[in-house]
Chains A and B, each alone.
Chain A
Amino acid sequence: AQSVTQLGSHVSVSEGALVLLRCNYSSSVPPYLFWYVQYPNQGLQLLLKYTSAATLVKGINGFEAEFKKSETSFHLTKPSAHMSDAAEYFCAVTPAGGTSYGKLTFGQGTILTVHP
């Protein structure tokens, strides 16, 4: 069984400040982990994914995430927030070595607000 917990349903930062969105997972088998972003009135878009290669993963739009097995975490960061980063962010997990990486277990989402 797997589960994902995103700490903080809402995060607010100032433009130019560090963005940190937290994700912890629980999985009985080694997982693959994903971050998706949903901009208003759009579908989910893949930001980045961890697939057991490098533990520090770089994604689009300057985001990156670090897989920490000891902490069962996969937090998303961006050094400097931009107004266009305002969106809802979802962490998701799927078992590594599975037959369908399209079957994801999602966290509850974190809404990021960026203030000027």
Chain B
Amino acid sequence: EAGVTQFPSHSVIEKGQTVTLRCDPISGHDNLYWYRRVMGKEIKFLLHFVKESKQDESGMPNNRFLAERTGGTYSTLKVQPAELEDSGVYFCASSQDPGQVASPLHFGNGTRLTVT
């Protein structure tokens, strides 16, 4: 099966610009997660979709970040306007049933965002 796909793999933008990251989960996975790793820090949870609904967005840093999952398939994460501290690697992950610990998270390769 195809894995979780993220693009772009790298993005370099200037402070104040807008960037949109995309994630295509594994087909059939209703659950989609966004995580972020800021340089030198731990990977942190941003939010969790179940199909098209936001189940938990407690990790979203501020209102400059907007996540969507229209139709319950792929998801986008938009940062507008980007700030220097938004630089990092953004990971997407999907799973079939997060209520079952036997259902593992499948991670994408991440998008490395650099804000200059």
List, in ascending order, chain A residues with CB within 8 A of B44's CB: 106
User: Cβ of A77 < 8 Å from any Cβ of B?
Assistant: no
A interface majority secondary structure: loop
Q: Tell me the minimal C-beta distance from A66 to chain B in angstroms.
A: 18
User: Cβ of B1 < 8 Å from any Cβ of A?
Assistant: no
Instruction: Out of A32, A51, A106, name the residue touching B43 (CB < 8 Å).
Output: A106
Q: Which of B68-116 contact A (CB under 8 A)?
A: 91, 93, 95, 98-110
Instruction: Out of A32, A41, A49, A102, name the residue touching B109 (CB < 8 Å).
Output: A41
Of all chain B residues, the one with the shortest Cβ separation from A43 is B107
List, in ascending order, chain A residues with CB within 8 A of B101's CB: 32, 49, 51, 101
Q: Tell me the minimal C-beta distance from B77 to chain A in angstroms.
A: 16
List, in ascending order, chain A residues with CB within 8 A of B41's CB: 108
- Chain A residues bordering chain B, tally (CB within 8 A): 23
Q: Are B99 and A99 in contact (CB under 8 A)?
A: yes
Q: Are A100 and B103 in contact (CB under 8 A)?
A: no
Q: How far is the CA of A105 from the CA of B45 in the complex (A)?
A: 7
User: Cβ of B14 < 8 Å from any Cβ of A?
Assistant: no
Q: How far is the CA of A42 from the CA of B55 in the complex (A)?
A: 27
Q: Are B42 and A107 in contact (CB under 8 A)?
A: yes
Q: Are B48 and A102 in contact (CB under 8 A)?
A: yes
Q: Which residues of A contact B (CB under 8 A)?
A: 4, 32, 36, 41-46, 49, 51, 90, 99-109
Extra 5 A-B pairs, beta carbons < 8 Å, given A4-B42, A99-B98: A43-B108, A44-B43, A100-B31, A100-B56, A109-B43
